[in-house]
């Protein structure tokens, strides 16, 4: 039996309480770029095709297109510039080192450090000169250590030796009282690389006493809520813009907070929101024009969530084109992933993989069912468009490399599909060897690489496409964070065992033990990432393989995954309420 799937008409869900600043009438119909031909989908019960069980999009095309934002007006930029100048004065004013470090940290958390890069580097430079010899307390040593490492200065973990006990096996018990110091020690410990045992001990020690403080003390003061916030997510793992709004809220509660800084942060987030809305509109027009949702109704219609990802991954204001590009990649990755995980039959999946491998072979494309021809051509056109832009701007033909990453991805998808249909239960190692690719980070990072590298050199291109350790570390975190949030639903729907299930099968472990293990693998991957980030930022003579902005995006991809799948729930496919609230705050609701 053949059934034509009716094109769903999406309304703006809960338009009143959900997306307050999108004011589209609830009766607005999804404007249709009408299908010119109709694809017939086979009946699900007959073919055994699975269902994703994903809800429709929360935001429809018309309401996104009708967004209007007053913060695009020049008057706001002028006002912001005035505030930026005042904060610059603050930074160079008579202030002690600690005060300056605190201000730098705040500017970063509030998402406005980009306006002060030059000043920040100058200040850190002068602090760095005497950092390893100056006598300091735990608080300022830890804060300085973290900020210096974050900005690429090389500081040794040995600066913490003076806080250790006589045997050197742990930290001095007297420090247990210094809660502010411990909080910074905890934050600093997340900058560790492999083998940095002091930082490992530091984290354990700090967590023990911070936790105790929370258990003993139910005051809701700023310090206690900062501890909660930090234990939930250390600042080194936090993406900037998606977190900025809640940081402004928190800072407003601080008695000693400088009001000019807060005012700038509030204004700036509204200005950025106007820019983000324009970028979102553009990607939404592209998504609508592909007609993928109408033609392949089983795929996740998540263009807004795809865009949200990019605000965390590509954080520079000027990289709007890159955010738009990355949103499209996210949408293509999720679409093709849904074809493999949900809809396609094994035979179709072989054909599709074959078509991508052959790349521009019209004959193998002709063999595909119509719905796959659409995916194929959407991807093919996109990659060519990106390749063309890089060729024009940088004189480098990136297409063979981009294509390799997409081939690697679909081959990894196919392996999972074969495991699923044959009932194969991989070991965790076997699973991970494939799964760090099957999460989709490899094409994402390859496309970003060509955009965020100014002069493209052979060494960089090869390191990227041999999947340098930092690439693999980022993809590993992306995969594991995703498994933490999505694998229960996936296995229930019908999928290969994911990392958690592989560990449980092998070790006869409980789900919680498996999650604990997965968290520890993520922590190891962060050590690799930190080491490589420090190398990339180091101001020495060794040639840089990767640009600073690219490395920043590589780390942010991992951060964003931890953010979206926080608390082990799916903030992307299932639009989990915590992420959804944040999405509205960042993209739709003005900060009043
Ligand atoms: C993964 O979905 C998914 F949708 C992600 C990671 C969000 C989109 C953004 C990127 C592609 C970075 P799913 O859990 O279905 O992936 P797997 O690989 O588990 O099928
Ligand atoms: Mn923050
Ligand atoms: Mn999937
Ligand atoms: Mn998949
Ligand atoms: Mn998943």
User: Among 46-50, 242-246, 480-484, 573-577, where is mean pLDDT lowest?
Assistant: 46-50
pLDDT digits (tens, 9 = 90+) for 149-189: 999 899 999 999 999 998 989 999 999 999 999 999 999 99
Q: Give the pLDDT confidence score for residue 46 in this predicted structure.
A: 52
User: CA separation (Å) from 339 to 168, 334, 342, 548?
Assistant: 55, 9, 6, 35
Element (H, E) at 99: helix 97-109
Element (H, E) at 390: helix 370-394
What count of residues does the chain have? Answer: 592
Only one residue has tokens 């009438």, namely 25
Element (H, E) at 229: helix 222-232
The angle at the Cα of 16, spanning 10 to 17, to the nearest 5 degrees, equals 105
Q: What is the pTM of this model?
A: 0.91
Mean pLDDT of the chain: 89
Mutate to test the pocket of ligand 1, among 573, 574, 583 (most ligand atoms within 8 A of CB): 573
Q: Give the pLDDT confidence score for residue 47 in this predicted structure.
A: 58
- CB contact set of 536 (below 8 Å; sequence gap of 6+): 152, 470, 544, 545, 546, 548, 551
Closest residue CA from atom 11 of ligand 1: 330
- Pinpoint the alpha helices (H) of 233-258: 241-252
pLDDT digits (tens, 9 = 90+) for 84-138: 999 999 998 878 889 999 999 999 999 999 999 999 999 999 999 988 887 789 9
Residue 487 Cα to ligand 5 middle (Å): 6
> Relative to the CA of 560, which ligand 1 atom is closest?
12
The band of 542, judged by pLDDT with boundaries at 50, 70 and 90, is low
Q: What is the DSSP letter of 342?
A: I
Could you tell me the two tokens for 525?
A: 């991957």
Nearest residue to 275 via CA among 591, 586, 592: 586
User: Among 207-221, 298-312, 415-429, where is mean pLDDT lowest?
Assistant: 207-221
For residue 4, list its beta bridge partners: 40
Ligand sitting nearest the alpha carbon of 573:
1
pLDDT digits (tens, 9 = 90+) for 501-537: 999 999 999 999 999 999 999 999 999 999 988 887 7
| Cα 145 from Cα 458, distance rounded (Å) | 34
Range 576-585 average pLDDT: 90
Mutate to test the pocket of ligand 1, among 298, 440, 570 (most ligand atoms within 8 A of CB): 440
Q: Give the pLDDT confidence score for residue 536 in this predicted structure.
A: 78
Answer whether 382's CB lies under 8 Å from 289's CB. no
Residue 417 Cα to ligand 1 middle (Å): 15
Residues with CB under 6 Å of ligand 1 are: 309, 330, 333-334, 337, 341, 438-440, 444, 482, 486, 572-573
Only one residue has tokens 């060519």, namely 384
Answer whether 319's CB lies under 8 Å from 364's CB. no
Answer whether 79's CB lies under 8 Å from 266's CB. no
Closest residue CA from atom 18 of ligand 1: 439
Residue 44 Cα to ligand 1 middle (Å): 23
Residue 341 Cα to ligand 4 middle (Å): 5
Mutate to test the pocket of ligand 1, among 308, 411, 572, 576 (most ligand atoms within 8 A of CB): 572
Nearest residue to 152 via CA among 540, 550, 558, 455: 540
pLDDT digits (tens, 9 = 90+) for 315-363: 999 999 999 999 999 999 999 999 999 999 999 999 999 999 999 888 8
Q: What is the DSSP letter of 15?
A: T
Does residue 540 carry a pLDDT above 70? no
DSSP string covering 52-76: --PPPPSS-HHHHHT---GGGSHHH
Mutate to test the pocket of ligand 1, among 50, 482, 483 (most ligand atoms within 8 A of CB): 482
Could you tell me the two tokens for 572?
A: 């992307």
> Residues whose CB is under 5 A from ligand 5 (ion)?
482, 486
| Cα 186 from Cα 176, distance rounded (Å) | 12
Residue 245 Cα to ligand 2 middle (Å): 8
Does residue 30 carry a pLDDT above 60? no
Residue 486 Cα to ligand 5 middle (Å): 5
Element (H, E) at 283: helix 259-290
Ligand sitting nearest the alpha carbon of 478:
1
Range 71-82 average pLDDT: 97
> Relative to the CA of 413, which ligand 1 atom is closest?
18
| Cα 273 from Cα 21, distance rounded (Å) | 12
> Relative to the CA of 486, which ligand 1 atom is closest?
14
Backbone angles phi, psi at 42, to 5 degrees: -70, 155
DSSP string covering 167-225: TSSSB-GGGGG-HHHHHHHHHHHTT--TT-HHHHHHHHHHHHHHHHHHHH-----HHHH
- CB contact set of 439 (below 8 Å; sequence gap of 6+): 475, 478, 479, 482
The angle at the Cα of 468, spanning 465 to 470, to the nearest 5 degrees, equals 125
> Relative to the CA of 478, which ligand 1 atom is closest?
6
ipTM of the complex: 0.94
> Relative to the CA of 329, which ligand 1 atom is closest?
11
Closest residue CA from atom 10 of ligand 1: 330
- CB contact set of 446 (below 8 Å; sequence gap of 6+): 398, 401, 402, 404, 405, 464, 465
> Relative to the CA of 573, which ligand 1 atom is closest?
4
Does residue 23 carry a pLDDT above 50? no
| Cα 23 from Cα 63, distance rounded (Å) | 7
Mutate to test the pocket of ligand 1, among 337, 420, 501 (most ligand atoms within 8 A of CB): 337
Mutate to test the pocket of ligand 1, among 302, 312, 334, 492 (most ligand atoms within 8 A of CB): 334
> Relative to the CA of 485, which ligand 1 atom is closest?
14
| Cα 90 from Cα 92, distance rounded (Å) | 6
Closest residue CA from atom 2 of ligand 1: 334
Cα Rg of the chain, angstroms:
25
- Label residue 37 exposed, middle or buried (CB < 10 Å: 0-12, 13-18, 19+): exposed
Query: Directed axis angle between helix 320-338 and helix 441-452, to 10°?
Result: 160
| Cα 237 from Cα 233, distance rounded (Å) | 7
Only one residue has tokens 């997409």, namely 406
> Relative to the CA of 340, which ligand 1 atom is closest?
20
Does residue 14 carry a pLDDT above 60? no
E strand spans, 272-373? none
Closest residue CA from atom 9 of ligand 1: 330
Query: Directed axis angle between helix 320-338 and helix 303-313, to 10°?
Result: 130
Does residue 272 carry a pLDDT above 50? yes
Q: Give the pLDDT confidence score for residue 6 in this predicted structure.
A: 30
């Amino acid at each position: 039996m053949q059934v034509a799937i009716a094109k769903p008409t999406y309304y703006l869900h809960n338009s009143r309480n959900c997306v307050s600043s999108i004011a589209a009438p609830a009766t607005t119909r999804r404007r249709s770029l009408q299908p010119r031909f109709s694809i017939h989908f086979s009946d699900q019960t007959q073919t055994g095709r699975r269902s994703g069980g994903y809800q429709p999009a929360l935001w429809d095309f018309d309401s996104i297109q009708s967004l209007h934002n007053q913060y695009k007006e020049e008057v706001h930029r002028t006002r912001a510039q005035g505030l930026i100048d005042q904060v610059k004065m603050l930074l160079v004013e008579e202030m002690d080192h600690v005060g300056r470090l605190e201000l730098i940290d705040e500017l970063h958390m509030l998402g406005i450090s980009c306006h002060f890069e030059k000043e920040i580097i100058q200040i850190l430079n002068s602090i760095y000169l005497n950092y390893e010899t100056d006598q300091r307390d735990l608080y300022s040593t830890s804060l300085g250590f973290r900020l210096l490492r974050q900005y690429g200065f090389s500081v040794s973990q040995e600066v913490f030796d003076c806080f250790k006990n006589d045997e050197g096996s742990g930290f001095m018990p007297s420090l247990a009282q210094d809660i502010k110091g411990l909080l910074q020690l905890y934050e600093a410990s997340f900058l560790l690389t492999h083998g940095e045992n002091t930082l490992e001990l530091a984290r354990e020690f700090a967590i023990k006493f911070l936790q105790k403080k929370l258990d003993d003390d139910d005051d809701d003061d700023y310090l206690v809520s900062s501890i909660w916030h930090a234990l939930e997510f250390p600042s080194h793992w936090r993406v900037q813009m998606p977190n900025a709004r809640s940081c402004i809220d928190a800072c407003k509660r601080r008695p000693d907070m400088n009001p000019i800084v807060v005012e700038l942060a509030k204004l700036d987030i509204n200005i950025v929101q106007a820019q983000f809305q324009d970028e979102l509109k553009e990607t939404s027009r592209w998504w609508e024009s592909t007609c993928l949702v109408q033609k392949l109704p089983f795929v996740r219609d998540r263009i807004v969530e795809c865009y949200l990802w990019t605000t965390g991954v590509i954080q520079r204001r000027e990289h709007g084109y890159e955010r738009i590009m990355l949103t499209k990649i996210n949408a293509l990755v999720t679409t093709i992933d849904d074809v493999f995980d949900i809809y396609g039959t094994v035979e179709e999946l072989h054909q599709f993989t074959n078509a991508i491998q052959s790349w521009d072979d019209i004959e193998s494309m002709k063999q595909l069912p119509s719905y796959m021809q659409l995916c194929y051509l959407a991807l093919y056109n996109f990659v060519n468009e990106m390749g063309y832009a890089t060729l024009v701007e940088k004189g480098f033909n990136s297409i063979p490399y981009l294509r390799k990453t997409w081939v690697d991805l679909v081959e990894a998808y196919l392996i999972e599909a074969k495991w699923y249909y044959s009932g194969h239960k991989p070991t965790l190692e076997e699973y991970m060897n494939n799964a760090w690719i099957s999460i989709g980070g490899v094409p994402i990072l390859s496309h970003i690489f060509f955009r965020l590298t100014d002069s493209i050199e052979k060494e960089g291109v090869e390191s990227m496409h041999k999947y340098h350790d930092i690439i693999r570390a980022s993809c590993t975190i992306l995969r594991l964070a995703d498994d933490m949030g999505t694998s229960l639903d996936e296995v229930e729907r019908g999928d290969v065992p994911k990392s958690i299930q592989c560990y449980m099968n092998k070790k006869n472990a409980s789900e919680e033990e498996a999650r604990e293990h997965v968290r520890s693998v993520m922590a190891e991957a962060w050590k690799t990432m930190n080491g490589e980030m420090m190398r990339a930022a180091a101001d020495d003579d060794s040639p840089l393989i990767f640009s600073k902005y690219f490395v920043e995006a590589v780390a942010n991809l991992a951060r964003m995954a931890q953010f979206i799948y926080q608390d082990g729930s799916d903030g992307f496919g299932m639009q989990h309420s915590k992420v959804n609230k944040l999405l509205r705050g960042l993209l739709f609701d003005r900060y009043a």
